Amino acid sequence: MMEFVLWIWGFWIARTVVFTLLVTVGLLLAVAYLTYAERKVMGAMQRRQGPMTVGPFGLLQPIADGIKLFSKETIIPEQAHRVVFLMAPMILFALSLIAWVVIPFDKDWVLANINVGILYLFAISSMGVYGVVMAGWASNSRYAFLGALRSASQMVSYEVSMGLIIVCVLLVAGSLNLQEIVLAPRPFWTQVLLFPMFIVFTISILAETNRAPFDLPEGESEITGGFMVEYSAMTFALFFLGEYANMILMSAIAVTLFLGGWLPPFGLAFLSFVPGIIWFALKVAFMLFVFIWARATLPRFRYDQLMRLGWKVFLPLTLVWVVMTAGLLMTFNALPGQNDGAYAYESTANIPANIKAEQ
């Protein structure tokens, strides 16, 4: 019996380690090629070529950039608070990695299928601000400090409406577990109801990841690169990796909450022969394309406009939407758990029949 338990333990640990390695390495590769995709896509949008000299179609460009960053000298400013200065990029990077444990990649592909998965994600993403603030403070530089202050207020502002949007999704799905959110039956009309929230969420994650058009914390035209101004070589690379990994993470959260995660699109049963992880990756890639698209299209917001959008537009809108969603679900007897779990409208169009049968 004891041996058996140990064997199971060993198996579990081995599985966890392998899975973790896969996720980490995959994520780093994804980040590398996200930078490549960004340069190529923006190049195409601006009628340029993008990177094209290193390797075929410039495909080895991210590798070359990585090697360049590795081999440069790390400079720590004289006036910097050394420990905090070095800890900031590590925290940002570590946070962008540890959030992935709860993301469901496929039917059984989730490292920790915890009950409060979405709260965990929210907690981790709300901590991302510390990396930035610590970097800005520890650099002991005006530009870096201004960037950090901007970033802190921006991230705190948009988190509020993000939380309310998540509540809307939870009302429909009836669970905090991400796998259950993916597999929750969603009648067509609730998807229509959630669609505006998906748009608001997409805009909020642009602000939350400090991406254009909300990239004021970096603002190279006025504060010369913001909180990253004093960072070089590996410390800068960690920031860069963390920021892009955060973009992928936020896309993955949006996909899990709104786009059906690893399920095939529109609940088409004949598409479910494609492995779920492929659908998941495709959907995340679509969200990332939107990130790049927005950056190539929109000019940067002014700071007061950014705050106005967060507090005066998104916050009231999402608050009203939470009440409305709850009210509608209640009225049509479609709250999860109401009516013994049976839905008033049995058009659970989002889950393909064969996957539903397996459950």
Partner 1 sequence: MVVQALAFYLFAVVLVLSALMVITARNPVHSVLFLILAFFNAAGLFVLLGAEFIGMILVIVYVGAVAVLFLFVVMMLDINFSDLRKGAMQFVPIGLLIGGILLFELGTLYATWQFAPAVQEKLAAAASVAIEADNTKALGEILYTKYFLPFQMAGMILFVAMIGAIVLTLRHRPGVRRQKVSLQHARRAEDVLEIQKVPSGTGV
Distances in Å between the alpha carbon of 255 and those of 215, 261, 262, 264?
Answer: 23, 5, 8, 12
Question: Which of the stretches 46-54, 124-132, 220-228, 242-250 binds partner 1 when contact is defined by CB under 8 A?
Answer: 124-132
Backbone angles phi and psi of 119, in degrees to 5: -65, -40
Q: Does 134 bind partner 1 (CB under 8 A)?
A: yes
Spatial CA neighbour of 43 closest among 24, 26, 23, 57: 57
Q: Does 116 bind partner 1 (CB under 8 A)?
A: yes
Distance CA 38, CA 23 (A): 21
| Min separation Cβ 109 and partner 1, Å | 22
- In this structure, the number of other CB atoms found within 10 A of the CB of residue 157 comes to 20
Distances in Å between the alpha carbon of 28 and those of 35, 95, 284?
Answer: 11, 14, 15
Distances in Å between the alpha carbon of 92 and those of 62, 133, 323?
Answer: 21, 10, 34
Q: Does 129 bind partner 1 (CB under 8 A)?
A: yes
Question: Which of the stretches 151-159, 249-257, 316-324, 339-347 binds partner 1 when contact is defined by CB under 8 A?
Answer: 151-159
Q: Does 347 bind partner 1 (CB under 8 A)?
A: no
Q: Does 122 bind partner 1 (CB under 8 A)?
A: yes
In the complex with partner 1, the residue whose CB is nearer, 21 or 83, is 83
How would you classify residue 347: left for phi > 0, otherwise alpha for psi between -120 and 50, otherwise beta? beta
| Min separation Cβ 153 and partner 1, Å | 8
Spatial CA neighbour of 129 closest among 96, 102, 161: 96
Q: Does 98 bind partner 1 (CB under 8 A)?
A: no
Q: Does 152 bind partner 1 (CB under 8 A)?
A: yes
Q: Does 110 bind partner 1 (CB under 8 A)?
A: no
The pair of three-digit structure tokens given for residue 49, joined into one six-digit string: 């070529």
DSSP secondary structure of 55-71: SGGGTTHHHHHHHHHHH
Residues 6+ apart with CB under 8 A from 89: 131, 135, 231, 235, 236, 238, 239, 242
| Min separation Cβ 311 and partner 1, Å | 12
| Min separation Cβ 39 and partner 1, Å | 33
Q: Within positions 28 to 67, which residues make up the interface with partner 1, using CB under 8 A?
A: none
In the complex with partner 1, the residue whose CB is nearer, 64 or 84, is 84
- The number of residues that bind partner 1 (CB under 8 A) is 27
Q: Does 123 bind partner 1 (CB under 8 A)?
A: yes
With beta carbons less than 8 A apart as the criterion, state whether 50 and 43 touch.
yes
Q: Does 120 bind partner 1 (CB under 8 A)?
A: yes
In the complex with partner 1, the residue whose CB is nearer, 124 or 259, is 124
Distance CA 211, CA 188 (A): 32
In the complex with partner 1, the residue whose CB is nearer, 130 or 345, is 130
Q: Does 315 bind partner 1 (CB under 8 A)?
A: no
With beta carbons less than 8 A apart as the criterion, state whether 102 and 117 touch.
yes
Spatial CA neighbour of 154 closest among 337, 309, 351, 340: 309
Q: Does 119 bind partner 1 (CB under 8 A)?
A: yes
Q: Does 115 bind partner 1 (CB under 8 A)?
A: yes
Question: Which of the stretches 33-41, 100-108, 110-118, 250-258 binds partner 1 when contact is defined by CB under 8 A?
Answer: 110-118
Distances in Å between the alpha carbon of 157 and those of 34, 145, 174, 219, 308?
Answer: 27, 18, 26, 18, 10
| Min separation Cβ 26 and partner 1, Å | 26
Q: Does 308 bind partner 1 (CB under 8 A)?
A: yes
Q: Does 74 bind partner 1 (CB under 8 A)?
A: no
Q: Does 127 bind partner 1 (CB under 8 A)?
A: yes
Where on the chain is the footprint of partner 1 (CB under 8 A)?
81, 84, 114-116, 119-120, 122-123, 126-127, 129-130, 133-134, 137, 145, 149, 152-153, 156, 159, 163, 176, 304-305, 308
